């Protein structure tokens, strides 16, 4: 990407246009692969031309004979949404940055309240409607993107994009920090969004002429606001610059020069290579070869089936024009002496079953590339008491393969989503104040979705085996139990299972409970000893002392 040299005088508008152009120039090398993936896996996704929106209503699946690739991608998207961000069950938990504060009842109560508010914001917004589309782009093209805007009614509002609509860049640490896109807006939309006075003269002319449906190309750029005035409260001096301008307006003013407190674009990528800002090796990248081969196989099988059902035939020349019918059950009468009449052209020897087995094998390869069996399994088990356990027992290998992808999903999608939502909610004043000694403390996010729990439960197997081992040893050597910290074992196991923090008692509460129990036991023992002493005293008082008795011998004189 170009950078200004010292001494260059580059206006803000010129620099923004240069950055926008550079991002799109770098993106061009990725478009051929994205086009191919869209062509065979998701025909209605991807925007790689300048066609106006009303020109995109036709079908783009003329080369697709079997929709197995598209169904596999759809299952992947639904499975990831259900397994990672299921709206019907908790999928994240807030914890203090200092592990020692986990047992603080005030901290836990405040974090629980914040969690509930965040969940309500997610449910009221359009987030859960947008995420499946984001996961489809993520699994198909290896890169996806959406922007999270502030919304007066629902706190946040999410807008997803399809590949080809945008371009990305990343910083030296590999984090996406620039987002550019091109979009179409009507004359009416431009005036409504930016105001009559902000739009260029050609838009105002169309608006005045009542041509409200005229389309205009708009450029959008979000980037770090270097050199900003940190003391200013203006939107254009925020940490992230948000710029809109009409394409073709050279050195004209911006339609909008605003800003964001946080980078609003969430762009999870499957896997990155080198300094590239786009993801690779997603199921779509891995399965595109099988997707293409499947269509060729099915096309060949259909042609072979047609030959088997309607084979070409030979007929005597004398029968030409005789009105022969080749329909099922038809009877054709021919003159005597014409031999065998109409007959098939040789023995085609078509083995349709073998060809179909090849098709099924290719379909299975596609399902494996998109983890279809894993996602369908835990969707079918959802709601049972042993969901995560079943997944671990059946698909440990696949869970390990999903590990890097899930970490990318957490770090590049869910972490910034929660941070952005928290910051917006905090500025809106809808979050409760934290405990005084926690105002500047870091808050961490733990993920407790079905898929996250299943991965964690791979580790609980070792906890169970260790506890069982210590129990067996303790049968021979009871002192072995001294080595086991049972409280910590319970905490670790509860954390792996994603048990709500309100279920397990803090260490301080456990200590108070045990101390009270010990005092009760001590009091009970004292009362029992007192009762025994009183009984002994009564028994002694009831005994008659006679001459030469044993009791008389021990009594003091």
Domain boundaries, the chain: 507-554
What's this model's pTM, rounded to 2 decimal places?
Answer: 0.78
**Model confidence pLDDT, tens digit, residues 134-178:** 999 999 999 999 999 999 999 999 999 999 999 999 999 999 999
The average confidence (pLDDT) of the chain is 82
* Cβ(222)–Cβ(240) below 8 Å: yes
Residue 157 has φ and ψ, to the nearest 5°, of: -140, 125
Say what the pLDDT of residue 467 is: 76
Query: If DSSP codes are grouped into helix, strand and coil, which group holds residue 185?
Result: strand
* Cβ(454)–Cβ(496) below 8 Å: no
H helical segments located in 410-483: 415-428, 450-476
- The parts of the chain modelled with pLDDT lower than 50 are 1-8, 382-386
State the DSSP H helix or E strand holding residue 205, giving kind and residue range, or none if neither.
helix 201-208
Say what the pLDDT of residue 255 is: 93
d(CA 20, CA 245): 11
Say what the pLDDT of residue 456 is: 72
Instruction: Residue 173: name the closest of 279, 277, 24 by CA.
Output: 277
Match 């081992």 to its residue by tokens: 469
First-residue to last-residue Cα distance in the chain: 112
The 8 Å CB, 24+ separation contacts for 43-47 are: 43/70, 45/136, 45/137, 45/140, 45/141, 45/162, 45/163, 46/141, 46/162, 46/163, 46/164, 47/162, 47/163, 47/164, 47/165
Say what the pLDDT of residue 436 is: 83
Say what the pLDDT of residue 253 is: 80
**Model confidence pLDDT, tens digit, residues 399-452:** 777 778 889 999 999 999 999 999 999 999 999 998 887 777 889 998 988 888
Retrieve residue 461's tokens. Answer: 């197997």
To 10 degrees, the CA torsion angle through 271, 444, 115, 487? 120
Say what the pLDDT of residue 422 is: 96
Say what the pLDDT of residue 176 is: 95
Retrieve residue 335's tokens. Answer: 């003159």
Say what the pLDDT of residue 155 is: 96
DSSP state of 75: H
Say what the pLDDT of residue 386 is: 47
Instruction: Residue 494: name the closest of 211, 214, 13, 93 by CA.
Output: 93
Say what the pLDDT of residue 101 is: 79
Say what the pLDDT of residue 6 is: 44
Retrieve residue 32's tokens. Answer: 């051929």
């Amino acid at each position: 990407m170009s950078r200004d040299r010292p001494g260059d005088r580059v206006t803000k508008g010129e620099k923004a246009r240069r950055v926008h152009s550079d991002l799109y120039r770098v993106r061009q090398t990725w478009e051929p692969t994205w086009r191919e993936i869209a062509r065979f896996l998701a025909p209605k996704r991807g925007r790689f031309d300048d066609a106006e929106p009303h020109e995109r209503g036709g079908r783009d699946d003329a080369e697709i004979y079997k929709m197995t690739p598209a169904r596999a991608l759809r299952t992947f998207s639904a499975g990831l949404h259900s397994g990672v961000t299921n709206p019907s069950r908790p999928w994240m938990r807030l914890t203090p940055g200092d592990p020692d504060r986990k047992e603080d009842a005030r901290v836990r109560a405040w974090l629980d309240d914040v969690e509930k508010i965040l969940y309500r914001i997610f449910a009221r917004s359009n987030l859960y409607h947008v995420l499946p589309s984001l996961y489809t782009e993520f699994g198909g093209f290896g890169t996806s993107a959406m922007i999270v805007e502030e919304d007066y009614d629902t706190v946040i509002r999410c807008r997803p994009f399809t590949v080809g609509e945008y371009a990305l860049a990343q910083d030296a640490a590999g984090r996406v920090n620039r987002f550019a896109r091109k979009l179409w807006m009507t004359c009416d939309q431009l005036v409504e969004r930016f105001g009559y006075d902000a739009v260029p003269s050609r838009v105002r002319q169309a608006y005045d002429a009542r041509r409200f449906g005229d389309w205009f190309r708009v450029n959008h750029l979000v980037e770090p606001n270097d050199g900003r005035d940190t003391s200013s409260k203006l939107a254009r001096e925020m940490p992230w610059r948000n710029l809109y301008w009409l394409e073709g307006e050279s050195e004209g003013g911006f339609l909008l020069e605003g800003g964001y407190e946080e980078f609003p674009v969430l762009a999870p990528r499957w896997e990155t290579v080198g300094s590239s800002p786009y993801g690779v090796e997603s199921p779509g990248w891995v399965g595109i070869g099988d997707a293409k081969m499947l269509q060729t196989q099915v096309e060949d099988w259909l042609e072979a089936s047609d030959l088997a059902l309607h084979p070409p035939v030979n007929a005597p020349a004398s029968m030409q024009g005789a009105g022969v019918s080749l329909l099922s059950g038809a009877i054709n009468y021919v003159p005597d002496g014409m031999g065998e009449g109409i007959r098939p052209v040789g023995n085609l020897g078509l083995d349709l079953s073998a060809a179909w087995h090849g098709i099924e094998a290719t379909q299975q390869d596609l399902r494996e590339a998109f983890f279809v069996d894993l996602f369908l399994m835990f969707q079918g088990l959802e709601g049972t008491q042993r969901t995560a356990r079943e997944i671990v027992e059946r698909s440990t290998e696949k869970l390990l393969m999903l590990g890097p992808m899930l970490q990318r999903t957490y770090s590049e999608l869910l972490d910034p989503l929660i941070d952005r939502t928290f910051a917006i909610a905090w500025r809106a004043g809808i979050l409760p104040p934290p405990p005084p000694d926690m105002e500047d403390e870091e808050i961490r996010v733990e993920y407790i979705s079905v898929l996250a729990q299943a991965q964690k439960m791979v580790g609980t197997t070792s906890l169970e085996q260790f506890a069982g081992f210590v129990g067996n040893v303790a049968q021979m050597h009871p002192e072995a139990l001294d080595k086991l910290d049972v409280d910590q074992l319970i905490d670790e196991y509860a954390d792996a299972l994603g048990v709500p923090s309100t279920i397990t008692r803090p260490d301080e509460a456990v200590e108070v409970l045990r101390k009270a129990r010990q005092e009760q036991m001590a009091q009970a023992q004292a009362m029992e000893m007192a009762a025994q002493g009183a009984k002994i005293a009564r028994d002694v008082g009831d005994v008659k002392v006679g001459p030469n008795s044993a009791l008389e011998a021990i009594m003091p004189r």
